[in-house]
Chain A
Amino acid sequence: MIVVTTEDVTGRPVTKSLGQVFGVVVRSRGLGGNIVAGLRTILGGEIHEYTAMVEDARRQAIDRMVQNATAMGANAVVRMMFDSSEIGSLMSEIVAYGTAVVLAEEAGSAEVRAEAAGSAVVRAESAGSAVVRAVEAA
Chain B
Amino acid sequence: MSAFRALLAVGFAILALLAFANVAIWHSAGWFPIGFYAALLAVAAAFEAGRYQPNRGVSTLGWKATGERFFDPTTGTPTEVFYDPKSGARDYRSR
Contacts and interface: CB of A to CB of B under 8 A. Distances in A.
A30 B52 contact: no
A46 to B, nearest CB: 9
Contact of A36 (B45, B47, B83, B85): B45
A1 interface: yes
Given A32-B9, A67-B87, A60 B54 contact: yes
Interface in A1-48: 1, 3, 27, 29-33, 35-36, 39, 48
Contacts of A57: 52
Contacts of A83: none
Contact of B45 (A3, A32, A52, A66): A32
A77 B40 CA distance: 45
Nearest to B4: A36
Contacts, number: 74
B2 A70 contact: no
Size category of the binding interface on chain B: 20 to 34
A89 interface: no
Interface residues of A, number: 27
B90 A63 contact: yes
Interface in B6-64: 8-9, 40-41, 44-49, 51-52, 54
A33 B51 CA distance: 12
A2 to B, nearest CB: 8
Contacts of A70: 85, 87-88
B48 A32 contact: yes
A103 interface: no
Contacts of A56: 51-52
Contact of B90 (A30, A31, A62, A68): A62
A19 to B, nearest CB: 16
B5 A36 contact: yes
